[in-house]
Amino acid sequence: METNSKTTPSSRSRSLTLLPHGTPSSASPCSQRHLSAGAPGVVTITHHKSPAAARRVKSQYSGQLHEVRESVHQAGQPSHKPGASENILGWHGPKSHSTEQLKNGTFGSLPSASANITWAILPNSAEDEQTLQPEPEPNSGPDLVLSEDEKSDTEDKEETELGVMEDQRSVILHLISQLKLGMDLTKVVLPTFILEKRSLLEMYADFMAHPDLLLAITAGATPEERVICFVEYYLTAFHEGRKGALAKKPYNPIIGETFHCSWEVPKDSVKPKRTAPHSPHSHNHDHPSESYKLRFVAEQVSHHPPISCFYCECKEKRLCVNTHVWTKSKFMGMSVGVSMIGEGVLRLLEHGEEYVFTLPSAYARSILTIPWVELGGKVSISCAKTGYSATVIFHTKPFYGGKVHRVTAEVKHNPTNTIVCKAHGEWNGTLEFTYNNGETKVIDTTTLPVCPKKIRPLEKQGPMESRNLWREVTQYLRLGDIDAATEQKRRLEEKQRVEERKRENLRTPWQPKYFIQEGDGWVYFNPLWKAH
């Protein structure tokens, strides 16, 4: 978790951003930015797995907790040390001719990619056989890797622990006693035992676990059907990404970290859900293969603030998604709230449509007993070309009574002020859709077929790819050796801090491999809408 920072938005910019609860809906990241403090105070809690080890260090707790108390106190104090202003990431990409370009803040200027990086452009003849992969050298550009190296993922992401153990609870209690309500957790290093054995970048990939629903959007016969298909996909995406009842925290990606995967989606599973006619623009006859290839790449493009970008595309369906997420977490007593500030754009090139969407906040509840995840907040989906929009509300559970994981949605045609679809249910359970013609449909997210992602084995991954980068931390967590996992995690983070100080001394900005700054935002270096 990292700190946020400040910038001044372009006078032409517009923002569609999910804000934390209690923030006026008219506010945007541009109005929420503030100057970052100086060097962050860091609070580190080292957890010992065995009771014996805990007893050995018990006598040391008094002094350590005093240091923690002072560190957290310092972390909450404003720094008077002047520092360069760091700007917030924004998503930016070409809009349709009828709309202005979407802008959502800036992240400072970077040198042109062409000045220091030579990009390898994917040849048309090999489009469906290769995927992008970076060189390990700091300034090398994307390289090509045969997709035949990718194998179906067999790792089980579900957490099996029953809850917080007694010795772990004492560590969390000591940490909580030093925190204040609403405190930014950017400057607090949380205990290693709460980690969930995967990077945040991979978690974003797991939101694509139902790629057949994503690809079916472009097969819709009308704009109304396509926007409804997108809402159906959106509401079912979070279940697999947050698999398991136990809430754990994914690894904070290291700057420059990447994650690559793909899906093979059977063509007979991709079809319109409400209308029978086949899309007149379908090009299946040009592609005799039995499946569509959907590719995904994610990269951590910034450390201060922590910004992740991911891009997903299917060339055959002429569909792609470009998204950025800035995560900001805060302490809420017995909960931790994480605002996923940012937005994405789904492009259907076949129809010339762009759907801008935002993301909900996430909450880890009951952190002292059995932590569980709750989504909350109001998000938006809109298409300027067609005039359709959707409002999705993830309802948080009331203190007394009420249901958990409730979600409601409404799809509207703005020019006629007509509601064409309503939905309600649980985002990790059953969802019911009611259409304006009286038809209804029920989707049970727990029974939806999951398409396993394909990923290259560790020996064929680069040093900065998520699973390879975090492999030792993951290995020790699986063995239950929390001390060793903590030490490996500390080494990775210290290396990141050392390299960051070097760049600051040389005044050399970080240059991502796959995402470049374009105008006031970030965009994938070779997006489908430019390649075609």
Mean pLDDT of 458-470: 95
> Which of the two residues, 428 and 99, has the higher pLDDT score?
428
Per-residue pLDDT of 409-451, as tens digits, reads 999 999 999 999 999 999 999 999 999 999 999 999 999 988 9
What is the model's pLDDT at position 236? 94
Q: pTM to 2 decimals?
A: 0.70
pLDDT band at 401 (very low <50, low <70, confident <90, very high): confident
What is the model's pLDDT at position 532? 60
Domain housing 398: 113-152+162-531
> CA angle at residue 100 from 280 to 230, to 5 degrees?
40
Helix 471-479 to helix 482-506 angle (10° resolution) is 160
Q: Is residue 124, in this structure, part of any structural domain at all? A: yes
What is the model's pLDDT at position 140? 57
Phi, psi (deg, nearest 5) at residue 442: -115, 130
Q: Find the CATH number of the domain harbouring 188.
A: 2.40.160.120
DSSP class of residue 346?
A: E
Q: Is residue 208, in this structure, part of any structural domain at all? A: yes
What is the model's pLDDT at position 13? 41
What is the model's pLDDT at position 53? 44
Which region among 91-105, 365-379, 481-495 has the lowest average model confidence (pLDDT)?
91-105
What is the model's pLDDT at position 155? 74
> Which of the two residues, 105 and 501, has the higher pLDDT score?
501
Q: Is residue 309, in this structure, part of any structural domain at all? A: yes
What is the model's pLDDT at position 18? 36
Mean pLDDT of 120-138: 41
What is the model's pLDDT at position 321? 97
For the chain, report the end-to-end CA distance as a whole number of angstroms: 37
Mean pLDDT of 159-171: 59
For residue 418, list its beta bridge partners. Answer: 413
Q: What is the mean pLDDT of the chain?
A: 74
Mean pLDDT of 39-65: 42
Which region among 138-142, 257-261, 404-408 has the lowest average model confidence (pLDDT)?
138-142
- Per the CB < 8 A criterion, the answer to whether 42 and 13 are in contact is no
- Over pLDDT 90: what percentage of the chain? 45
Q: Is residue 515, in this structure, part of any structural domain at all? A: yes
pLDDT band at 229 (very low <50, low <70, confident <90, very high): very high
pLDDT band at 521 (very low <50, low <70, confident <90, very high): confident
What is the model's pLDDT at position 126? 39
Which region among 156-170, 171-185, 273-287, 386-400 has the lowest average model confidence (pLDDT)?
273-287
Beta strand ranges found along 193-305 (DSSP E): 195-199, 249-251, 258-266, 291-302
CA R_g for the chain? 23
pLDDT band at 520 (very low <50, low <70, confident <90, very high): low
> Which of the two residues, 520 and 448, has the higher pLDDT score?
448
Where does residue 241 rank: exposed (0-12), middle (13-18), buried (19+ CB within 10 A)?
A: middle
Mean pLDDT of 136-153: 64
Is the pLDDT score of 93 beyond 70?
A: no
Token pair, residue 428, equals: 């990790």
What is the model's pLDDT at position 191? 73
If one counts every other C-beta atom within 10 angstroms of the C-beta of residue 257, the result is: 25
Q: Is residue 3, in this structure, part of any structural domain at all? A: no
pLDDT band at 402 (very low <50, low <70, confident <90, very high): confident
> Which of the two residues, 221 and 517, has the higher pLDDT score?
221
pLDDT band at 8 (very low <50, low <70, confident <90, very high): very low
Q: Is residue 265, in this structure, part of any structural domain at all? A: yes
> Which of the two residues, 523 and 96, has the higher pLDDT score?
523
If one counts every other C-beta atom within 10 angstroms of the C-beta of residue 28, the result is: 21
What is the model's pLDDT at position 156? 62
What's the total number of domains in the chain? Answer: 1
Element (DSSP H or E) covering residue 212: helix 211-215
Q: Is residue 281, in this structure, part of any structural domain at all? A: yes
Closest CA to 327 of 29, 83, 73: 29
Q: Is residue 129, in this structure, part of any structural domain at all? A: yes
Mean pLDDT of 478-498: 93
Per-residue pLDDT of 289-330, as tens digits, reads 699 999 999 999 998 889 999 999 999 999 999 999 998 888
